Structure formats: C-alpha cells, structure tokens
Structure 1
C-alpha cells in the first residue's frame, strides 16, 4: 500500500515537451500559517525511451550538480532526446538556499533520511516523495554530489554496491560511461539511508558523483560534471552518442578504486586545528604520518599526529582547519578487485 503524502505538484509527468515548476509540501512554521515548501522540478519528455532521474542539491553546500542541472533544464531542447528526464536540481531546497549540508528547517541531513516519512519533518517528507513517487517512474538515477564545505574530494563517479550481479553490471557500465577521472566504489560504511542506496533497492541503474568540494565551485569538476551527465544520458539512449574524445581512456585502462571500510578514513582524535602533510592524489601507506592537529590555545602541548590506516590514494581531505573529535580528516581509496563486467 502506497504511503499517503500531502505533497502536490503542478507538473504533469506524462506530458511531452518541457515543463518547469515545483513540488509543493505544506509547511506551517511560525512565519506562515498555510504556506508550502517549493522544490524546483522539471520534466523534459519526447518520444519513447527510458526515464532518467537527475538530482542535485541533496546537500546544500555542494554546487556543481545544481549548476549543471539548471543548465540542462534551461537549455536542453526536448526534440534532442528520446525518453524522459525528471530533474530535481535543488531537492533539499532549504539547505541549498542557505549553503548548508543539513536543512535549516529540521536540522536533518537529507542523505540519511531515506526512504523518508510522508508524515515526518520537511526533509523526511521530501525523501519519502522521491522514494514513493519519483523512483517508481524511473529507469535510472543520477545523484550529483561533491565534498561540500567540509571535504575536498578528487572528482570522481561513484558506484553504489548491490548484491545483484546483473544490477551491479548496469551500475558499473553507467558509471564508467560518465568518464570521470576516477571511478570509486563507495558503500558509506554500509549506510542504507542514502538516496543512491534506496535507488538501488528500487532497481534503478544508479550513478553517483563526488565533484570537488571545499565550499567552492571547481571549474575542473564542473567541466567533468557537464560532460559526464551527457555521457550517461547517451549511454542510456536518451541523447545521441557523443563523439569520442582523444582524452577519454578505454574502460579497461581506468583506475577503479573503493573505500576499504573504516581503515580508509582518518578521524580527528581531539579538538584543534588540522594540518595535512600531503596533497590530494598522493599515494600513501598504512602507518604513515598523515597530518596533525594543533592545540593553538595550549601551545606547550605537542600536536596530535594522525596516521593512515590503509595503503592507497589520498582521495579526500578535510577543508576547514578547525576540527572536533570524530571529524573526517582524510579518506584513502584502494584498488577495487571486484567483478566489473
């Protein structure tokens, strides 16, 4: 039985052509007795073909995805596609407006609320609508992320794991079609409440990304993201196949990496100011000094040394200097040895 939701939209998902509008969720804060939260929504449809869901802004401090999806919904001619695009460029709209990872309305990280709750807080209602209404219409899902304001991550396309071998092959093929500089398998330490984990459970071909971060818009990552989205749409048959770039590497030559569970993360053991010893992209070894945390108001106290827990590529590191215990300071990716074909 479908869960009942109060959300409504002015978009007709079955209509051909281009529509831009909003998903409305009733919201009654102190400032507005009978208001709604308006979430941007667009549908571009032409002819027959797969339905691809494009989502950005799940975290409001990750900018490349919303920028690229805004360009697509403004510029794409419906006659150039075969199929349907459902575009949610700023899904966590209150967080996007404030440039925050979490929603200023209810304090929740949207990417830890799936499958949501249609009777819950605003963030839970949004993720419930995506789970209950949007995913069932889709064949594929692209979720565009970056490291946000707290992490800088090497631009990469992300494989969401699945236990179904055929589904895994579909996901890998679509992620490789994105043609990012890196392809990384990420299971979020087994976290099942994310949009991509829920998309996989719904049976959709699923592609994630990490496009830079640090609270900025990376021009290099933006370029990768623009081309990557179109590459995946061509792979799925929605857009014509692009001309092969001489810069593209054959799939067999690409590095496929994974985050190796807890050993791939280095967390701050104490409060202070974080200093990295290595730039992103460095090959590192387990036990090697990674950086340190300084105690600026207790200068006689030696800094705490951080060490890597795995051999691999330095894939992500913390951007703000100040840390508290448990903050993620480093992420290391190691070669992926699973089945890709």
Structure 2
C-alpha cells in the first residue's frame, strides 16, 4: 500500500519537525450517521530539542491497559524541552476508541489494534490508525517503546518485553534497552510469530524496540505504575534522549525468559477455572496448574489443567469464567540466546 495515502487521508495538528513542545492530534476520518465529515482525534505530542535520536512512545494500544497512558501523559506535561536531546513522539492513547470504552478492542470495528499492523489506510478505523502510525510516524523513529499491561483478561508479572531483532545487532540493542528499563525479569515475546503487532512492525523498520507488561486485571497497579514511570525514564536516558540524572539506579540485570510454543495453557471447557499457583511460582511441564469447575452441574468432576512448559508462572487469566479457547496460564521459560 502506498504510504502517501495515509498522509493524505489523515492529518496532524502538530509539526513533527518543529522544536519545542507541542500537544495535539492526528485526525483519522470517520464518516458515520450523525457526523458525515467527522474524525477520530488521536492524541499526539512532540518534544524536540537539539540533536539526537527520535524515540516514539506508545500507550493505549489496548484500551483497558492504563499504566502506559498515565506514564506518557505525565511525561508530556512534565518534561522541559531543554532536557531533551533529539525528539520524543508520544502517542499515549493510540487506540482512542478502545481507551474511551475501556476495552481491549475498538468498539467501532471490534478489531484488536495489536494484530492490525502495518494497517490499511483504506480499511476500518483501527486499521487506518495503525497505517498512519506505521507509514507516517514509524519512519521518523530510531527507537520505539510500546507500553502494555495484561488488560482486563490477564494478570502478568511486571516485566520488560524484548522484541526479537531481525539481526544480531538489533536484537542486542533490544535486550540492552530492556535491561535498562529495570524490571526483575525481561521476557522475549514474539506473539507466536505474529508480524501484525506494533513492535514487530517497528522492528521491521529497523528501530530499537522495547515493550512492557505492567500487571493487569483492568486496574491501575500502584507498584507497576511506579515501575513504569521509572523504567521509561531509564530507557530514554539509556538511549541518550534524556540526561542520566533523570534515570534511576538499576539494582541488577533482569533474569531473561521467553515464551516458547508450549507456554500457554488453553481451556477446552466452559466453566469456572481454579488456579493453583501465584504468579512467579516455579512450575514444571505436566504439573497440575488448575481445574475447571462446572457450577451448574455439581455432579460432574472438574477438568484438570496441566502446564505444558517448565519455568515460572508469568501470566494468569483474571476472570474466573472461561470458555473453550481462553488462555488460562502463561509460563515463561529461561531464555537461551541463539547461537551466533
């Protein structure tokens, strides 16, 4: 798809090349019953000063994940352009319709934005937003921070997320940025090889890429938000856009894990699931993970769920109600770096 289409159909109220601080929107056309020439006004901010890299920071890809948007909003308000060397481009609520609805997916088209990249400038609203970011904003960037949490359906150990790099050099840069964030663990996640995520698309454009998972459960975690606030500043200092004095000391390098092909435990029954372990528990493949109970049929024995991989319990479904296909548990296994 021609990148110029995104630039013609969507317009920004900020000048990405202008020094100083600007807060505005990029407008995605939305022609609906009660507004023939309306738009979705996606918030965007730019802070530019001096010479240095361009870092793109994204939050709100899923509308029920809050630590990232809160952190980015604070940075937009608090940062003095004089402290910036380079350019920061903030998209704190990229999936604005989902953010306003507190939903993982957009209420306009029911699409998961993080399975929509590189987008389609002639597609539905979610795909148009993804296309504008991919076609217009990503080419400006040297690094990309994508801030997630588990949302309403998952609770996840707060962690930095490493996007696998296309080259050894890019992968090493991604790992270094994740270590700078300052979490106890960092996890290599390729989303089962799915190329439609924001981080995968950013990596394809050659950027250094780091993501996060900051707790979840559809709430704001006090601890995870504090970690996110420190971690984003740490990464920006690591990349040279903010001064070192704005970073916080990191006690130790994170333990590295990844999500292998057997990381996920999927429900095959409709019922209420009972987890048996807390997040961070060391578990073994084949070990009993939980049970699915059938409350409307008390004579039926619960169905047992077993871990498929060994490692630590990294993520756990938040709602007790499950149906076939729901992810109940996620196990992160110790990471082994690929051989050169």
TM-score (norm 1): 0.96
Give the structure 1 partner of residue 54 of structure 2: 51
> Displacement, 1:163?
3.1
Query: Distance between the aligned counterparts of 2:121 and 2:330, measured in 1?
Result: 34
CA contact (8 A) 1:58 1:145 kept: yes
Instruction: Tell which deviates more after alignment, 179-188 or 56-65.
Output: 179-188
What are the residue-to-residue correspondences of 1:197-212 with 2, within 5 Å? 197-212=200-215
Q: How many positions carry a matched residue from both structures?
A: 337
What are the residue-to-residue correspondences of 1:189-338 with 2, within 5 Å? 189-242=192-245, 248-251=250-253, 254-261=254-261, 263-338=262-337
Query: Distance between the aligned counterparts of 2:193 and 2:251, measured in 1?
Result: 30
**Alignment RMSD (CA, Å):** 1.4
CA contact (8 A) 1:318 1:330 kept: yes
Secondary structure, counterpart of 1:28 in structure 2: strand
Give the structure 1 partner of residue 150 of structure 2: 147
Aligned partner of 2:116 among 104, 110, 113: 113
> Displacement, 1:181?
1.9
Query: Distance between the aligned counterparts of 1:2 and 1:277, measured in 2?
Result: 49
Give the structure 2 partner of residue 79 of structure 1: 82
> Displacement, 1:250?
3.5
Determine whether 1:30 maps to 2:69: no
CA contact (8 A) 1:169 1:340 kept: no
Query: Distance between the aligned counterparts of 2:115 and 2:302, measured in 1?
Result: 33
Query: Distance between the aligned counterparts of 1:221 and 1:240, measured in 2?
Result: 23
> Displacement, 1:245?
5.5
**CA spacing shift, 1:243–1:137, aligned 2, 3 Å:** closer
Aligned partner of 2:67 among 54, 64, 67: 64
> Displacement, 1:249?
3.0
> Displacement, 1:180?
1.2
Determine whether 1:4 maps to 2:17: no
Structure 1 spans left out of the alignment, 5+ residues: none
Secondary structure, counterpart of 1:213 in structure 2: coil
> Displacement, 1:3?
4.1
Secondary structure, counterpart of 2:214 in structure 1: strand
Query: Distance between the aligned counterparts of 1:245 and 1:79, measured in 2?
Result: 20
Per-residue CA distance 1:138-191 (angstroms, 9 max, x = gap): 000000000000000000000011231111111111111111121000011111
Per-residue CA distance 1:286-333 (angstroms, 9 max, x = gap): 111100111111111111110000111000000001111010000000
Query: Distance between the aligned counterparts of 1:179 and 1:37, measured in 2?
Result: 35
Give the structure 2 partner of residue 159 of structure 1: 162
**CA spacing shift, 1:59–1:339, aligned 2, 3 Å:** same
**CA spacing shift, 1:75–1:212, aligned 2, 3 Å:** same
CA contact (8 A) 1:114 1:195 kept: yes
Per-residue CA distance 1:60-101 (angstroms, 9 max, x = gap): 000000000000101111111111000000000000001000
Query: Distance between the aligned counterparts of 2:285 and 2:16, measured in 1?
Result: 51
CA contact (8 A) 1:3 1:118 kept: no
Which contiguous aligned blocks of 4+ residues in structure 1 show a shift greater than 3 angstroms?
242-246
Structure 2 spans left out of the alignment, 5+ residues: none
Query: Distance between the aligned counterparts of 2:245 and 2:255, measured in 1?
Result: 22
CA contact (8 A) 2:233 2:246 kept: no
Query: Distance between the aligned counterparts of 1:330 and 1:40, measured in 2?
Result: 34
> Displacement, 1:2?
2.7
